[in-house]
A = this chain, B = another copy of it.
Amino acid sequence: MSDPLIGRLVVCGVGLIGGSFALALHAARAVGHVVGIGRTPAPLERALALGVIDSIAPDWPTALAGADMVLLATPVGQADRIMAEMAPHLAPHTIVTDAGSTKRDVIEAIYARLDAQLPRVVPAHPIAGAEKSGVEAAFATLYQQRNVVVTPLPENDPEAVSVVEAAWQACGATVRRMSPQEHDRVFAAVSHLPHLLAFGLVHDLAGRANAEQLFSFAASGFRDFTRIAGSHPEMWRDICLSNRHALIAELDQYLAELAYLRALLIGNDGDALETLFAEAREARNLWAGKAFPT
């Protein structure tokens, strides 16, 4: 049997994202041994019991000894601190990558904390739904036919980029390269803003005096619209703050759209409303038919 792609993998933050990466690589026989490390012992012990990881490291020197790759899969707000902690113990050959939903801030932390390691630190972001969180939600096929955006640094060693891309491909994902700036603008629009809007709507309604009555009449449309309001609060706090400039720009553009819709309602303009709804329906169904063929 040939050697696996990654001999020893360290997963920092063994939740849905990190746990599913480990399971997928195990399933593809692309990893030899997975070490888990994290803030608190309980999730690591569950991950070990579930067979998601093969061992738990009590500290960074233990984790990084002989490591071929480290995946950071924590909320992005922790990236800077974790990189600072791991930096003194990193061997020159170890590849570091991440799964953060924002890229410019993670890259800022990379330049600040891992500047000695730049050829082998490859930022990435797997695009996989994560409204269920925790290692119990992890599964080996999470990344199949999903996009993984890789945003290489100019300083990256092409071989390190190849290994990161090969690891995600072994998970069944499609790798797509972008600049970090482009990444952060695109995901502010199609992911971060919708999450903010869904959290906001549920929060608005839940605070009403008649909240119980309102929820008792909410149906499947409301369920689907608000599904992402079930997402992890700390993770989304970090994403919204890390990417807040792009997110505010998207929010402002959306507020202009809502102001236009409000004017159509005030003006009782049925023709313009119907045209707008029809254009939205066509665009949405065209996209969904391609992205999620049934």
Q: How large is the interface on A (under 10, 10 to 19, 20 to 34, 35 or more residues)?
A: 35 or more
What per-residue 1/0 map shows which CB atoms of A199-240 lie under 8 Å from chain B? 111111110101101111111111111111111111011101
State whether the Cβ of A39 lies closer than 8 Å to any Cβ in chain B: no
Pair A221/B237 contact, Cβ less than 8 Å: no
Shortest A137–chain B CB gap in Å is 13
Majority secondary structure, A binding face? helix
Pair A217/B127 contact, Cβ less than 8 Å: yes
Expressed in whole angstroms, the Cα–Cα distance for A278 and B254 within the complex equals 24
State whether the Cβ of A49 lies closer than 8 Å to any Cβ in chain B: no
CB neighbours of A221 from chain B (8 A): 129, 131, 191, 194-195, 227-228, 231
State whether the Cβ of A27 lies closer than 8 Å to any Cβ in chain B: no
Shortest A270–chain B CB gap in Å is 5
Out of B189, B224, B287, name the residue touching A224 (CB < 8 Å). B224
Expressed in whole angstroms, the Cα–Cα distance for A254 and B193 within the complex equals 14
Pair A233/B288 contact, Cβ less than 8 Å: no
Expressed in whole angstroms, the Cα–Cα distance for A106 and B134 within the complex equals 48
Pair B205/A190 contact, Cβ less than 8 Å: yes
State whether the Cβ of A283 lies closer than 8 Å to any Cβ in chain B: yes
Pair A262/B248 contact, Cβ less than 8 Å: yes
Expressed in whole angstroms, the Cα–Cα distance for A236 and B265 within the complex equals 12
State whether the Cβ of A241 lies closer than 8 Å to any Cβ in chain B: yes
State whether the Cβ of A146 lies closer than 8 Å to any Cβ in chain B: yes
State whether the Cβ of A84 lies closer than 8 Å to any Cβ in chain B: no
Pair A204/B257 contact, Cβ less than 8 Å: yes
Shortest A60–chain B CB gap in Å is 25
Out of B206, B220, B254, B278, name the residue touching A200 (CB < 8 Å). B254
Pair A187/B127 contact, Cβ less than 8 Å: no
Pair A274/B233 contact, Cβ less than 8 Å: yes
Pair B202/A219 contact, Cβ less than 8 Å: no
Within 8 A of B (CB), among A271-286: 273-281, 283-285
Shortest A38–chain B CB gap in Å is 19
CB neighbours of A288 from chain B (8 A): 223, 226, 230
Shortest A90–chain B CB gap in Å is 28
State whether the Cβ of A163 lies closer than 8 Å to any Cβ in chain B: no
Pair B219/A146 contact, Cβ less than 8 Å: yes
Expressed in whole angstroms, the Cα–Cα distance for A288 and B233 within the complex equals 17
Out of B77, B241, B254, B266, name the residue touching A204 (CB < 8 Å). B254
Asked if A190 meets B222 with Cβ closer than 8 Å, knowing A200-B254, A201-B197, A265-B248, the reply is yes
Pick the 7 closest A-B CB pairs, nearest first: A206-B283, A233-B277, A202-B280, A237-B274, A233-B278, A129-B220, A190-B218
